[in-house]
Chains A and B, each alone.
Chain A
Amino acid sequence: GAVVSQHPSWVICKSGTSVKIECRSLDFQATTMFWYRQFPKQSLMLMATSNEGSKATYEQGVEKDKFLINHASLTLSTLTVTSAHPEDSSFYICSARAGGRVGEKLFFGSGTQLSVL
């Protein structure tokens, strides 16, 4: 299957700093990538949809100024958590769609565990 690489896999940062997470589709072009957040024992919550060459579409309740998404190429989307605070500590995971609109074509990165001290 298609491969999605997410980096870093874990990061610890001080409160007030910014953290950038990268999501790359390694063997296919992804016009659309998705960013999720998961709290322990809870669902993967969709945060935003990242579209190559245009602004990301954010889900209700997600602060676009706090979670900056850039999708500058067909193989790379980045999520920047700006001025991170302890409540931003969570598991962040990206997915990329390899054509079509059905969920079978969603390929996920391995996730990033963010801990804000």
Chain B
Amino acid sequence: DQQVKQNSPSLSVQEGRISILNCDYTNSMFDYFLWYKKYPAEGPTFLISISSIKDKNEDGRFTVFLNKSAKHLSLHIVPSQPGDSAVYFCAAQRRMDSYDKVIFGPGTSLSVIP
């Protein structure tokens, strides 16, 4: 039973265009959402997050949108660059938990074509 879903295993985008990575979750108790980026042979690194009290968070070229009613979030990368090619993991957390697990989605592999 996957609580965090990323239905697109891969995505290809032309350099300079927008990349949109989607994520859906099933647990309405999640109140914090994160995106991690992973290059081959490296561990995931934190990219951007959003609290459930917001619907948008922006950091440079990266923007995360949250639609709580739809239990959906998306990561927008504008403009996309070849160095953005990586696997992106969506993750969710219940911050009120004393046992603060981070639940990961399966990842989406992004390829930015020069």
Q: Which of B43, B49, B91 contacts A109 (CB 8 A)?
A: B43
Contacts of A25-55 to chain B: CB distance below 8 A: 34, 36, 41-46, 49
Interface residues on B, range: 20 to 34
Among candidates B45, B89, B100, residue contacting A44 with C-beta atoms closer than 8 Å: B89
The yes or no answer to A95 lying at the interface (CB within 8 A) is yes
* Beta-carbon contact of A108 and B44 below 8 Å: yes
Give chain B residues whose Cβ lies under 8 Å from the Cβ of A43. 2, 4, 89, 103-107
A65-89: contact bitstring with B at CB < 8 Å (1 yes, 0 no)? 0000000000000000000000000
Interface digits, A4-29 against B, CB 8 Å rule (1 contact, 0 not)?
10100100000000000000000000
How many interface residues does A have (CB within 8 Å)? Answer: 26
Q: How far is the CA of A101 from the CA of B106 in the complex (A)?
A: 22
Given contacts A44-B89, A57-B99, 18 further A-B pairs with CB under 8 A are A1-B45, A43-B4, A43-B89, A43-B105, A43-B106, A44-B44, A44-B104, A46-B102, A46-B103, A101-B100, A102-B32, A102-B49, A103-B34, A103-B49, A104-B34, A106-B46, A106-B102, A107-B45
Interface residues of B (CB under 8 A from A): 2, 4, 9, 32, 34, 36, 41-46, 49, 89, 91, 93, 95, 99-107
